[in-house]
Amino acid sequence: MKLKIVVGSILIAGFIIFGAYSFMESNVKYVTIEEAKKTTKKVQIVGEWVKERESYYDSRTNQFVFYLRDDNGDVVKVIHNGVKPNNFEIASHVVVKGHYVDGVFESSEILTKCPSKYQSPEALKKYEN
């Protein structure tokens, strides 16, 4: 009887430790570009696509390259390992998840926030340029 309690306790403790570790790995902090440069952890940056700078998709390497400006006005080159999201051009904000490495932000995921259909026509014009 005691063996079952010990084994059960060990299994429960193992699941708790695994759950806590999984949560910590999936908990990705929002940072500025400046803060991303100072950490090796996976982070996410929210900003706007810099339309004036070069952006392209390279089908050979399956990489989408663009520039992102954060709320502080800092700009970083983003290399996303994957295709460009369908609604990227109309996005009001972009969130990139990944790591800052050797002068570029290497993105593993891109999330786009599109203008709301409930915004005024004047606000929507801002995003059409």
pTM above 0.85, yes or no: no
Q: What is the pLDDT of residues 14-28, one digit of tens each?
A: 888 887 777 666 667
- Confidence label for 129 from pLDDT (cuts 50, 70 and 90): very low
On the question of pLDDT at 2 being above 90, the answer is: no
105 backbone dihedrals φ, ψ, rounded to 5°: -100, 115
Weakest-pLDDT range from 25-34, 67-76, 119-128: 119-128
Report the largest interatomic distance among the alpha carbons of the chain, rounded to a whole angstrom. Answer: 72
Average pLDDT over the chain, rounded to an integer: 84
* Token pair in block for residue 36: 């991303």
* Token pair in block for residue 35: 């803060």
Q: Cα–Cα distances in Å, from 32 out to 26, 29, 47, 63, 125?
A: 19, 10, 9, 23, 27
Query: How buried is residue 97: exposed, middle or buried, by Cβ count under 10 Å (0-12/13-18/19+)?
Result: middle
Q: What is the pLDDT of residues 27-40, one digit of tens each?
A: 678 899 999 999 88
